[in-house]
Structures are given as C-alpha cells and as structure tokens.
Chains A and B, each alone.
Chain A
Amino acid sequence: MKTVKSPFKFKGGVHPDYNKELARESAIERMATPAELVVSMSQHLGAPAKCIVKAGDFVRRGQLIGEKNGFISVCVRASADGQVKAVEKRLGPAGGMADAVILDTTAALPEDLPPVEPLKPLDWKNATREELLKRVEEAGICGMGGAGFPSAVKLNPPPGKRCEYLILNGAECEPYLTADFRVMLERADRIRTGVEIMRKILGMPAVRIAIEANKPEAIAAMEKAFADIEGNVEIVVLPVLYPQGSEKHQIYATVGRVVPEPPALPIDVGCVVENVGTVAAIADAVEKGEPLLERVTTVSGDAVANPKNVLAPSGTKYSDLLAFCGGTKEDAAKVISGGTMMGFAVSSLDIGTTKTTSGLLFLTRKKVFQYSSQACINCGRCLRACPMNLNPAEISKAVESDDIKTAEDAHVMTCIECGACSFGCPAYRTITQYCRRAKNSIRARMAAERAAAQAAKAANP
C-alpha cells in the first residue's frame, strides 16, 4: 500500500467556491426516525421498483416494499417500522413523478404481525462470490455518489469483461458536500472491509482509492485503515479540480485509461468505480446483514442554522432534516438536493431523501445566482472548461435555435452535465440546460425510433 499523486491530469475543469468548511468539522449525527417517511420507489438509476404494499399495510424495518423491476433496478426496503398511509405518485428531486410509499412511523404495529425474516450476517471470507452478489442485490444497494447505478450490476461484469481496477471514489468534488469525507474519517474500517468484499467479488483487482488533496484527514484515515492490506492497493491523491469525482475523469486520473463515448461503461476499460459510502454500505450489508436503509446527508448552506452531516433513514422529508439542523437562520431562496454544481433545485420540502441524496443545501438570496442569458460571445471559456472536450458554445447556440441535429453532431450525448461550462460563462448562458434539453429530445427520438422498429418487427415477423 502506498500513497501516490495522480499521474494523469484531464483537460478542462473549474474551481468553484467549495464552502466545505460549513459542515466539515461536524461529526456524523444520527437522526431519530421522523413521524412520516416518503419512501420513493425510484431511488436509483433504471426502472423504478414495483411497490408490493398497499395503504393500510403494516411494515417492519428492513421489510421488502418494492421489488426489483428489471435488470437495471434495485429493490426498496422499508426504512422504519410503521403503517403505510398511502401509495401515490410523488415528485422526486429531479422533477419526475414516481410511486412513493408514505409511511406513518408513529403507528403501533399490531402484536400479531408476523416477523419479517431479516438478512443474516454473512462470513464473507467463506462465502461464495454468488452469495455475496446476491446479498448486495437483496440489500438494495446502489451507487450513493449521485447517479445511483445498481451496485449488484456493477459488481457483476458481463462475460468476457474483467475488472482490473477497483476505484474508490472519495473525491467529493461538489461544493458544500462533506458526507463522503465524514464517512472516510469515521467509518474507515467499514470501507476497508467493503473493499475486501468487493475485491473478492470482482476477482482480486488492483485497488485505487481516489481522494482530492483538500482532504488530508481523509487520506490519513485511509492510509491507516489500509496500512496492512495485501496486494496492489494505492491511495491516489487528486488535484483539487471540479469534476474530479466524475467516473470517467477519475478513471483517467488514477489509471490513465479513457472510457470511450456512450454507451461504453467503465467496465469496458476494465474499471469499476464505487463511491466510498457505497463500499461501507456493502460491508454492513454483508457482515451485519443490514440493508441500505439510511445514509449520511450533508445539510448545509448559508441559510441553515447548524450545518451538519446527518445519518437519516431514506425517505426522511427535507423539512424534517432541516428541523434537525435547527431550521433556517435566514430565509432560504433556493433549496438544492445534491451539490451546487450538479444538484437539483427543488420546489417543495415534502420530498423524501433517497439512497443518493448526498446533500441538501439551503441558500439565501445572496448566494442564488440568477441566469439572465445574453448572446454567446464565443469567448471559448466553456470549451476550455469542458472536461469532455466538447464545444458547449456551439451546442448551446444550436439548441437555442432548435437545431438538435447540429448538437448531436457535436457529440452532445457525451456531455456529463457537470456544469463547468455554465459555471464560467460570462454571458450567463444556461449551457448545461441546453445540453440537457438536446439530450432529452435525442433520447426521446431514439426511444420513438426503437418503438417504431419494434412495431415494424412485430408487424412483419
């Protein structure tokens, strides 16, 4: 085990104000289960889980309430004891509507409720690879960094592909967020165990632990935890640069490999990237039989009275999280689920947290940036900032005049929506939003084409 500096530097990137000092020093605090939980069936990437409970049902903590629904999907378990008040469509942080189970945790469970068989702790050293994979799947684990890719799928490379590098993402390059940092400090032993389990599942790949240089304490904690580990394990210290936490850029920064354009995945270049929080969750799921029911969320921002890193059950409403952190000291003008670079502005505090809610930010009016777009002056800042080496100026201009074709030719589908382009734009153009718009309409068009092709196939077999 050794610590090295990142040998590869990707092009582009920006330096936003990190504002991490707000919640950096506050240790993870566990929050009591709130009276009502809004547990979404769509906490991950891919198809939403299929809800298997109905209003009036009593559920126990850890009980399966949503079944995995397709290959790229994750099951959902109740994060507390309680009674189902309703199952209804609720707004998610990203703006989509999805089924959610509204759980009343104050309801007394009837005494004759049959017990739910809990997941049993596994001795991972003697368990088979299949048992371990099945456990990751049953525990409902998905990537906790933000995108929420199902971990069981990630840990099971398709035939013919081999994982050579397991990369632990501890970069946490998003402003304000300190959840991963605190997990690395306080749960280093869990991460160590998780890495060993994952190494076993993936066939003993080399391990790279990627941490940005602005977290020396986390680097020290990892060095201590991994001091006596065998095999090819390195801690890679990354330069402080947004978006260092992007999967593709982290792979490049740590092992110098370039993931091809979509639909290629990291596994195509022999890499699996997993967030440190997820690794700890995998350790808990295997060793303790504890499914993924809670996560550390950074509640921060200049409007919050006491910024904290809160360990809360998933489904905790934003309003409850805010109350736990002492409410607002000033009126919040914007509430963001996630970090300021890629998070989602939300319109309501009734939304429940999910497995991917890494942060919840409450910003006052003076921290809110209003985009009043002017015409592009072709300055090239977006081009220089784009870590994917795209031409965001051209894409944004094309989309602005509804020319999706040009945007597609300019590789808009490769865009990772990191926001570096809009961040530096002197004309305050919402370039990222233009990219997103182009991507949405291209995806819609592709889906329509697929449907048409299928219909044609069905018509003429």
Chain B
Amino acid sequence: MTVAIVCIAGIGLVAAIALALADKYLAVREDPRIGMVTAVLPGANCGGCGFAGCDGYARALVAGTAPNGACAAGGDACAQACAKILGVEAAATEKRVALVKCCGTRSEAIRVGDYNGICDCNVAAATAGGDKGCRYGCLGYGACANVCPKNAISIHDGLAKVDKRLCIGCGKCVKACPKHLIELVPASATIHVLCNNPDKGPSVRKVCGVGCMGCHMCERLSGGKEAGHFKFDGFLAKVNYSNPPEDAAIVAKCPAKCMIEDPHFESGH
C-alpha cells in the first residue's frame, strides 16, 4: 500500500515538475485583456462588427485596430465594460434596430411576373429586376432573414419583418438587402414610414396600394417643416430619427397608409 502511494506520488511529482518547466520555458504569453474583453462581449459571434467573431473583435480592440462600441449587439453596457478593461473612455451609443421600410404585402403591391428560381432576393433582383412592380420594395425572398444571426427576421405575405425584441442591430441585413431598404433606427423610435419608393404619387400608386406619395401630410400634422420631424427624398417621406415625431395621431391620417406606430415593427394592416 505504501509502495503504491509512493509510486503514484512519485509519478505525479515527476509529471508536475516536467509541466512546470514546460510552462515556464515554452509558454506563449498572451495579453490577458483579450480574454477579459471576450468575456464581456455578448458571444453571439454575429460578425456585425466586421471581425471574425467576438474573439477576433476582442483581439482587434486590445490591439487598438478596432473602435470601441462597434459591437451593436452588446450595446452601450458592453462598450462601457470594454472601455473599463482597456482603460479608455467610451462614447455612449444608443441601441439601434433594423427596420424594413416597405409594407407592400402581396395583397397591396403588384407583382409583375411569376418568379421561378432560387428563393433569394439578390438573385431575384438580378432576374428582370425582381417580380415586384415597385422597383424599391421588399421582394420577400428572405436574403435578410438568411443572414440574421438571431432569427429576428421572418417573411410574412411576401414581406420581411423584424422582431424588434430579438434584433441586436448588427446591420447584416442592411448589407444583404439588394434594394437597400433596411435601415438601422433608434430602438426608442416608434413611428415609422414603411416605404422606400421616391417616385411621384401616380407612379407609386400604379404599383402599390400603400406606397408613400410624398403628400407631406405627416409633416404638416407634426408641426410643419420647421418642426423637422420628417425629411423628404423626392416624393418619399422619411422620419428624421434624430428628432422623431411623437404624436401617434398622424399615423392614422397618412393617406397612403404607409405609416405605423408599433413597438415591435409588426406592420401590416
């Protein structure tokens, strides 16, 4: 029995010494802050920051090659925590979420053709410009939903919809959309214009029942041009998200019915 214990202890001792030596002479020293930063990042590995996963971003942050606050998923709290580890000041960031600026469902927006091919917006758009009459509208083939790391986007009735509660604002969908109609907007904003067509009223009307015609009704009702709640691009109203409107009454008055007041972006009428 004693021999056994001595034996095992001896083996253990030899191994321990060997390992200790190895650790001393062969070890690779890494900046310990990398691990600490990785720990405070959300760990979703969404790639929204532009780096290969959270670990890649942590390395870049420590190396000083990436700006702090690029992690949209972690938001402000995460940036603050990173700043604390790195010993720098963090600029306050506001949580932003994706908004699909189209509400032309199958029953509202005209389809000019019968698309037959891969279910992906980019290829559908490259096939005769897509089957939707409106050249600016959501095709509904789910390119954004496919890239969403949080499955926050779903397709209903030929239209992509973002669930605000799940969205982490990584912005991948913004890049994926061939029609460039997804925008990151402040999560606190509740009133939105769901249209992306800057054409004149009559040509919008020809292709969609709920397209913005640029009538300026929303602007007038929210205090006029001076109030600055809306901006106009051609004949398209856009919410000025640095000064968003607050009176929800204007939504119901929109003659084109392309405005919503909805905390979860569950649009549709």
**Touch test A–B (CB under 8 Å):** yes
Which residues of A approach B to under 8 Å, CB–CB?
Answer: 91, 93-97, 344-348, 370-371, 373, 400, 402, 430, 433-434, 436-437, 440-441
A348 and B112 alpha carbons, distance in the complex (Å): 8
For residue B87, CB closer than 8 A to chain A, the reply is no
Interchain CB contact (< 8 A) of B116 among A95, A347, A370, A440? A370
Cβ–Cβ contact A371 & B116, under 8 A: yes
Instruction: Report how far A345 CA is from B129 CA in the complex, Å.
Output: 10
Whether the pair A95, B118 counts as a contact (CB closer than 8 A) is no
Give CA–CA (A94, B113) in the complex, Å. 15
Given A91-B135, A371-B116, A371-B117, check contact A437 B128 (CB 8 Å).
Answer: no
State whether the Cβ of B120 lies closer than 8 Å to any Cβ in chain A: yes
Instruction: Kindly identify which residue among A94, A437, A441 contacts B118, using a CB–CB cutoff of 8 Å.
Output: A437
Contact A433 B129, beta carbon cutoff 8 Å: no
Residue of B nearest to A91 (CB): B129
Across the A-B interface, give the 6 residue pairs with the lowest CB-CB distance, nearest first.
A95-B129, A347-B113, A347-B112, A347-B128, A437-B123, A95-B128
Residues of A near B122 (CB, < 8 A) are 437, 440-441
**Once the chains are docked, how many angstroms separate the CA of A344 from the CA of B125?**
12
Residues on B with C-beta less than 8 A from A436 are 123, 126
- B85-104 at interface with A (beta carbon < 8 Å): none
Binding site for A on B (CB under 8 A): 112-113, 116-118, 120, 122-123, 125-131, 135, 146
**Smallest beta-carbon distance B182→chain A, Å:** 16
A371: chain B residues within 8 A (beta carbon): 116-117
- Inter-chain CA distance A299–B135, complex, in Å, is 27
Inter-subunit contact A433/B128 (CB<8 Å): no
B102 to chain A, nearest CB (A): 17
Q: Are A95 and B127 in contact (CB under 8 A)?
A: yes
Q: Give the Cβ gap from B128 to chain A, nearest Cβ, in Å.
A: 5
Q: What's the nearest-Cβ distance from chain A to residue B111, in Å?
A: 9
Contacts between the two chains (Cβ within 8 Å), count: 49
Distance (whole angstroms) from the CB of B126 to the closest CB of chain A: 5
Is the beta-carbon distance between A433 and B123 smaller than 8 angstroms? yes
Kindly state the separation between the CA atoms of A91 and B126 in the bound complex, as whole angstroms: 11
Query: Could you tell me the distance in whole angstroms from the C-beta of B176 to the nearest C-beta in chain A?
Result: 9
Min CB distance, B132 to chain A, in Å? 9
Question: What are 23 pairs between A and B in contact, CB < 8 Å?
Answer: A94-B126, A95-B125, A95-B126, A95-B129, A97-B135, A344-B127, A344-B128, A345-B113, A347-B112, A347-B129, A348-B112, A370-B116, A371-B117, A373-B118, A400-B118, A402-B146, A430-B117, A430-B118, A433-B118, A436-B123, A437-B120, A440-B122, A440-B123
B63 CB to nearest chain A CB (Å): 15
Provide the bound-state CA to CA distance between A94 and B129, in Å. Answer: 7
The interface residues of chain A lying within 8 Å CB-to-CB of B118 are: 373, 400, 430, 433-434, 437
Question: How far in angstroms is the closest Cβ of chain B from A343?
Answer: 11
Bound complex: CA A347 to CA B125 (Å)? 12
CB-CB nearest in chain B for A448:
B175
Q: Please name all residues of chain A whose beta carbon is closer than 8 Å to the beta carbon of B128 when the two chains form the complex.
A: 91, 93, 95, 344-347
Is B135 touching A433 in the complex (CB atoms < 8 A)? no
Cβ contacts under 8 Å, A434 to chain B: 118
| Minimum distance in angstroms from A324 CB to a CB of chain B | 23
Inter-chain pairs besides A94-B126, A95-B128, A347-B131, 7 sampled, C-beta below 8 Å:
A91-B135, A344-B127, A347-B112, A347-B128, A347-B129, A371-B116, A436-B126
CB-CB under 8 A for A95 and B117, given A433-B123, A440-B122: no
